[in-house]
Amino acid sequence: MVDEYLKKDTERVQKKYSELMHNLEIDAIEKKIESLNNNPSKDSMDMIWLEIYTDVLDLKKKYASEEFKK
């Protein structure tokens, strides 16, 4: 009985940890995008990175919305 409670608590903590880590990753990517957008001397490489970060952010948000609906 105690093992079941411990297992459920562990699963709940793991789920919350994953959710928080995912949110931190999204925040970090958003900050990187913001800094690239605010860079007055953007070159073509910055524009490529901006596109990549934007695509990754979109994928992470899509994955998060699907994952946390479960």
* pLDDT at residue 66, as a whole number: 76
* pLDDT at residue 1, as a whole number: 67
* pLDDT at residue 22, as a whole number: 79
Query: pLDDT above 90 covers what percent of the chain?
Result: 24
The domain tally of the chain equals: 1
37: domain range? 2-67
Q: For residues 60 and 26, what is the distance between their CA atoms, to the nearest angstrom?
A: 7
- pLDDT exceeds 70 at position 69: no
Structure confidence by residue, pLDDT tens digits, 13-35: 888 888 778 788 888 999 999 99
